[in-house]
């Protein structure tokens, strides 16, 4: 495969080349990994940056409906939109919460939109790792907005937040005064909370839910990387299209503010460093599991630990010296 040519065509915005590049990046074959790495270096020369938007919400809150409406609005404004998914269920079971049904039908037909389901990998870490690379491919292909969608389960939200410039939490109106069990940790990483379904009979409930979250957000520690009135809670209706433009304006206000105050670059630099460290960690783990010799040493030491012959820490120490070849 001619990687230079592929890189050039990706940067030319050729959709088929982008799809091919993504398939390459998602492959776990050793030779493909090596090519994907070179490809990543080549496309980095484009120097393009998209707005990376993370979007999380539990199944049923209206993520597909929102992305369809929001994406179409962006396309109408002349922007190119890529939609990626990080699906924790595909990592565990090979099944999928996000990907199976036909989603975002109208958006997927637009030439200016590119929609890619979650890669199936055995580990969420693997999915996140590939998705990061796909984000950079989409940026090189001149997409203006890259939306990374995930379901509100476990680690996937944090992972998506760590590859996004802005992280959005989509919620449904909730009766009563419970805050839908949204974990404090998620509130802390959210830049905007969007209460969806603010239409028809649900509208008053949505307004109340929004006020509750606005109140809860005010109680959180103020973050230096935010202007005074962020993080923010707002109502939207994906079905009626209400609030989408205001939400987009707010996202840009926040993004611009962070650019002007140096937080944008700092966040990306920090994310790049974490990505690098994660790659090293994953590479070390792969070295462990790919080598029959290392697996059998793990087994041997594991049995000795289980048999009470060796302390876990001592066994780990021995294993690590084997791995680095200094014993």
Applying CB under 6 A, does 118 fall inside the site for ligand GDP?
Answer: no
Which of 21, 24, 61, 163 is in the footprint of ligand GDP by CB under 6 A?
61
> Toward ligand GDP, which CB reaches closer, 6 or 168?
168
- The structure tokens 């909370």 sit at 193
Name the residue among 249, 197, 218 with its Cα closest to residue 65.
197
**Minimum gap (Å) between residue 113 Cβ and ligand GDP:** 16
Applying CB under 6 A, does 95 fall inside the site for ligand GDP?
Answer: no
Q: Are 285 and 276 in contact (CB under 8 A)?
A: no
Which of 26, 162, 199, 250 is in the footprint of ligand GDP by CB under 6 A?
199
Structure-block tokens of residue 114: 């590119």
CA distance 198 to 174: 11
**Minimum gap (Å) between residue 139 Cβ and ligand GDP:** 25
**Minimum gap (Å) between residue 294 Cβ and ligand GDP:** 41
**Other CB atoms within 10 A of residue 136 CB:** 22
Which of 40, 54, 57, 71 is in the footprint of ligand GDP by CB under 6 A?
57
The piece of 28-36, 58-66, 161-169, 245-253 that touches ligand GDP (CB under 6 A) is 58-66
Applying CB under 6 A, does 209 fall inside the site for ligand GDP?
Answer: no
> Toward ligand GDP, which CB reaches closer, 200 or 262?
200
Applying CB under 6 A, does 63 fall inside the site for ligand GDP?
Answer: yes
Applying CB under 6 A, does 64 fall inside the site for ligand GDP?
Answer: yes
Applying CB under 6 A, does 182 fall inside the site for ligand GDP?
Answer: no
> Nearest 5 degrees, angle CA 208-CA 244-CA 78?
175
CA distance 46 to 12: 10
Which of 197, 213, 231, 235 is in the footprint of ligand GDP by CB under 6 A?
197
Structure-block tokens of residue 281: 């960690």
One DSSP character per residue, 250-305 reads: HHHHHHHHHHHTTHHHHHHHHHHHHHHHHHHHHHHHHHHHH-HHHHHHHHHHHHHH
158 CA to centre of own chain: 8
Q: Please give the residue whose beta carbon sits closest to ligand GDP in the complex.
A: 62
Applying CB under 6 A, does 147 fall inside the site for ligand GDP?
Answer: no
**Cβ-proximal residues to 232 (8 Å cutoff; 6+ apart), any chain:** 191, 192, 193, 214, 217, 250
CA distance 76 to 99: 25
Of 223-262, binders to ligand GDP (CB under 6 A) are 237-239
**Minimum gap (Å) between residue 119 Cβ and ligand GDP:** 19
> Toward ligand GDP, which CB reaches closer, 104 or 124?
104
**Minimum gap (Å) between residue 58 Cβ and ligand GDP:** 7
> Toward ligand GDP, which CB reaches closer, 95 or 200?
200
**Minimum gap (Å) between residue 73 Cβ and ligand GDP:** 14
Please count the residues of this chain forming the interface with ligand GDP, following the rule CB under 6 A: 16
Distances (CA, A) of 101 to 63, 72, 120, 190: 13, 19, 16, 27
CA distance 187 to 88: 20
Interface ranges with ligand GDP (CB under 6 A) = 57, 59-65, 196-197, 199-200, 202, 237-239
């Amino acid at each position: 495969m001619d990687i230079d040519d592929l890189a050039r065509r990706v940067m030319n915005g050729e959709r088929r080349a982008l799809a091919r590049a993504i398939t390459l990046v998602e492959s776990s074959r050793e030779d493909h990994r090596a090519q994907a790495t070179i490809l990543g270096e080549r496309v980095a020369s484009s120097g393009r940056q998209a707005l990376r938007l993370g979007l999380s919400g539990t199944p049923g809150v209206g993520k597909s409906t929102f992305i369809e409406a929001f994406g179409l609005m962006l396309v109408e404004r002349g922007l190119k939109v890529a939609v990626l998914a990080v699906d924790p269920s595909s990592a565990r079971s090979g099944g999928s919460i996000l990907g199976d049904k036909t989603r975002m039908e109208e958006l997927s037909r637009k030439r200016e939109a590119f929609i890619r389901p979650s890669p199936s990998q055995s580990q969420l870490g693997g999915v996140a790792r590939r998705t990061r690379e796909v984000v950079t491919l989409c940026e090189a292909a001149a997409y203006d907005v890259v939306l990374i969608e995930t379901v509100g389960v476990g680690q996937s939200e944090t992972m998506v937040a760590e590859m996004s410039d802005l992280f959005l939490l989509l919620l449904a109106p909730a009766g009563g005064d419970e805050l839908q069990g949204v974990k404090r940790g998620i509130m802390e990483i959210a830049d905007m909370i969007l209460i969806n379904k603010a239409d028809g009979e649900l509208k008053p409930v949505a307004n109340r839910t929004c006020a509750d979250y606005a109140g809860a957000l005010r109680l959180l520690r103020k973050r230096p990387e935010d202007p005074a009135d962020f993080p923010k809670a707002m109502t939207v209706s994906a079905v009626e299209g209400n609030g989408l433009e205001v939400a987009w304006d707010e996202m840009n206000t926040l993004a611009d503010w962070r650019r002007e105050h140096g937080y944008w670059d700092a966040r990306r630099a920090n994310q790049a460093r974490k990505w690098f460290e994660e790659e090293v960690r994953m590479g070390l783990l792969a070295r462990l599991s790919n080598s029959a010799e290392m697996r059998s040493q793990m087994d041997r030491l594991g049995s000795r630990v289980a048999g009470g012959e060796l302390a876990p820490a001592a066994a780990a120490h021995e294993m690590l010296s084997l791995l680095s070849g200094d014993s």
